């Protein structure tokens, strides 16, 4: 795959859905992703949590998070399937690979600067010890 990108897909399932149906929904979405050439790096069934605001008069939902490496066509199909699945109350897909690269670059710069500062601080401590 030439343009491998990383996405996070979070969706909320109706809390009245049985455990078997939750597993069926998650399994079918997993199968769609892998059949279209994507790979699920991380799958997290976060469980029942309180919603920030009521959705369809529900105050709780079952949260599921996928981290997917793919080209983007998998995400389009996942969103289409989640839109027509009535147990899925809300979903969001976010491309995170560019953000992670930027965060990694900032982290490396900080480490590099702190290592320079650490060396200077050590040299100053040594020179203070010699004067006494």
pLDDT in tens, 20-49: 999 999 999 999 999 999 999 999 999 999
83 & 109 share domain: no
pTM of the model: 0.75
20 & 47 share domain: yes
Q: pLDDT grade, residue 119 (50/70/90)?
A: low
How much is the average pLDDT of 55-74? Answer: 93
Question: Phi and psi dihedrals of 68, rounded to 5?
Answer: -120, 135
Q: What's the mean pLDDT when you consider all of the chain?
A: 86
Q: Answer whether residue 78 shows pLDDT above 80.
A: yes
22 & 86 share domain: yes
| Number of compact structural domains in the chain | 2
Q: pLDDT grade, residue 1 (50/70/90)?
A: very low
Question: How far apart are alpha carbons 55 and 32 in whole angstroms?
Answer: 26
Q: Residue 38 is encoded by which pair of tokens?
A: 């994507």
67 & 38 share domain: yes
**Nearest partner of 64 among 37, 35, 84, 87, judged by Cα:** 87
Domain coverage including residue 131:
104-132
Do the beta carbons of residue 12 and residue 62 sit within 8 Å? yes
């Amino acid at each position: 795959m030439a343009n491998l990108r990383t996405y996070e897909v979070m969706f909320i399932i109706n809390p009245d859905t049985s455990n078997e149906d939750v597993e069926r929904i998650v399994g079918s979405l997993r199968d769609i992703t892998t059949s279209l050439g994507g790979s699920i790096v991380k799958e997290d069934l976060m469980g029942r949590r309180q919603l920030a605001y009521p959705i369809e008069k529900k105050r709780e939902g079952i949260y599921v998070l996928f981290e997917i490496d793919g080209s983007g066509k998998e995400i389009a199909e996942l969103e289409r399937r989640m839109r027509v699945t009535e147990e899925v109350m809300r979903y969001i897909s976010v491309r995170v690979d560019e953000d992670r690269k930027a965060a990694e670059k900032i982290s490396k710069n900080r480490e590099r600067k702190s290592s320079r500062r650490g060396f200077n601080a050590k040299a100053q401590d040594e020179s203070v010890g010699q004067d006494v």
